[in-house]
């Protein structure tokens, strides 16, 4: 029997800043995608990115109204995500939307409620699910290798501080950085967070103290009883450090920090090992392409396990909102169940 060929999906990219350019490279490289249009409030930047990757520059209205566009990738500023997501879904376009759906959980929830009945393919940008070692961890845990989860420990330590302007508009560490690990926790354990307690401080950049933290520790209780810990920092002195371990009733599984390739030197009483990736993007670069590829296969009718959708976006953000309240109040906060 002849195998049916998958359709080529015609994509428009909305937003051509740093993360938009990451997506642009992947859109251009994917054999199942025709990368046709780049839209940005800065027309000069849109034209430059379009020229670099063989697309055309255009407007958001053009992308949403054109019958020649099948899907859009939203990589604009966070406050625009919800409106663009709703417009694109109502236009019948498949949507890859960077996280979070909106800085306001209530606003995100309202948009999801309106667009969910339209049954248009949508994925939210939790690309960490597509990290190879995290996927191996999940597969072995789901196979029952270590029994029931009892204690989960997660580390997310970025190597360099983002610019102050970014931190001022990011929505805060809980919504911007930690939210990836709230999603990973749910995805890995297939459980929900009920309660969260957070403590944080502005240690690396004291000037953000009035509106955010750059260093934080969180404790969470999951519905099935397991406890989880997460520590975050915006700056290390030793490279990008991301790791997850699950201790179960019959052992432990770990997705450890990853070093760049290199030889370990043994010399006398000293051991010199290769260091960690210099920055977060070097570690997670491939996950963006893998997530995009999974979404394209989903659009083409393939059943794809673990593709993060709208409800995943809301539930991870609900944990982030509770964590932010905990930082403010100095007490444990119950997570809104969605």
What pLDDT digit, counting tens, does each position of 127-148 carry?
999 999 999 999 999 999 999 9
What pLDDT digit, counting tens, does each position of 292-322 carry?
999 999 999 999 999 999 999 999 999 999 9
DSSP code for 78: G
- Mean of the pLDDT values across residues 50-74? 97
Structure tokens at 134: 């995290």
pLDDT number for residue 3: 42
CA distance from start to end of the chain: 44
Q: Where are the domains of the chain?
A: 9-120, 131-283+309-334
What pLDDT digit, counting tens, does each position of 150-175 carry?
999 999 999 999 999 999 988 999 99
pTM: 0.92
**Mean pLDDT score across all residues of the chain:** 94
Strand partners, 146: none
Query: Any idea which architecture 131-283+309-334 has in CATH?
Result: 2-Layer Sandwich (3.30)
Sequence-ordered strand ranges (E) for the chain: 9-14, 33-39, 56-58, 71-74, 94-97, 122-124, 149-157, 193-201, 215-222, 227-233, 241-248, 251-255, 265-267, 270-272, 333-334
Q: Is pLDDT above 70 for 1?
A: no
Separation in Å, CA 141 to CA 128, 180, 187, 204, 228: 17, 19, 11, 35, 15
- Mean of the pLDDT values across residues 1-20? 82
- Which residue, 309, 307, 308, 301, is CA-closest to 32? 301
- Mean of the pLDDT values across residues 36-53? 97
Q: Is pLDDT above 80 for 268?
A: yes
Percentage of the chain lying above the pLDDT 90 cut: 89
- Mean of the pLDDT values across residues 93-122? 97
Q: Which option is the CATH number for 9-120: 3.40.50.720, 3.30.465.10, 2.40.390.10, 3.40.50.300? A: 3.40.50.720
Separation in Å, CA 321 to CA 168, 276, 315: 17, 31, 10
Percentage of the chain lying above the pLDDT 70 cut: 98
pLDDT number for residue 281: 84
Specify whether the CB–CB gap between 271 and 253 falls below 8 A.
no
pLDDT band for 4, please (50, 70, 90 cuts). very low
Q: Is pLDDT above 50 for 2?
A: no
State the CB neighbour count (10 A cutoff) for residue 117: 7
In angstroms, the CA 160 to CA 169 distance is 17
pLDDT number for residue 222: 98
pLDDT number for residue 283: 87
């Amino acid at each position: 029997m002849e195998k049916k060929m998958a359709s080529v999906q015609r994509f428009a990219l909305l937003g051509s800043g740093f993360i938009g350019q990451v997506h642009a490279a992947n859109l251009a490289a994917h054999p199942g995608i025709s990368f046709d249009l780049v839209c940005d409030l800065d027309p000069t930047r849109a034209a430059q990115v379009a020229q670099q990757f063989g697309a055309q520059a255009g407007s958001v209205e053009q992308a949403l109204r054109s019958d020649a566009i099948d899907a859009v990738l939203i990589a604009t500023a966070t406050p625009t995500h919800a409106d663009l997501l709703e417009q694109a879904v109502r236009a019948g376009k498949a949507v890859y939307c960077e996280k979070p759906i909106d800085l306001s959980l209530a606003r995100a929830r309202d948009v999801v409620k309106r667009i969910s009945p339209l049954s248009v393919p949508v994925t939210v940008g939790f690309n960490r699910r597509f990290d190879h070692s995290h996927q191996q961890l999940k597969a072995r845990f789901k196979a029952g290798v270590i029994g029931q989860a009892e204690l989960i420990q997660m580390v997310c330590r970025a190597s360099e501080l983002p610019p102050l302007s970014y931190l001022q508009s990011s929505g805060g560490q809980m919504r911007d950085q930690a939210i990836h690990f709230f999603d990973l926790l749910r995805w890995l354990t297939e459980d929900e967070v009920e309660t969260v307690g957070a403590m944080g401080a502005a240690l690396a950049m004291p000037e953000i103290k009035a509106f955010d933290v750059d260093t934080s520790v969180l404790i969470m209780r999951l519905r099935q009883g397991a406890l989880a810990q997460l520590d975050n920092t915006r700056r290390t002195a030793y490279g990008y450090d991301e790791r997850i371990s699950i201790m179960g009733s019959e052992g432990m599984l770990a997705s450890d920090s990853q070093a760049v390739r290199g030889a370990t030197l043994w010399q006398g009483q000293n051991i010199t090992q290769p260091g960690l990736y210099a920055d977060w993007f070097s570690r997670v670069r491939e996950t963006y392409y893998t997530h995009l590829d999974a979404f394209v296969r989903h659009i083409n009718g393939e059943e794809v396990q673990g593709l993060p959708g709208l409800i995943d976006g809301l539930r991870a953000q609900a944990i982030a909102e509770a964590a932010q309240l905990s930082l403010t109040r100095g007490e444990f906060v119950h997570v809104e169940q969605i």
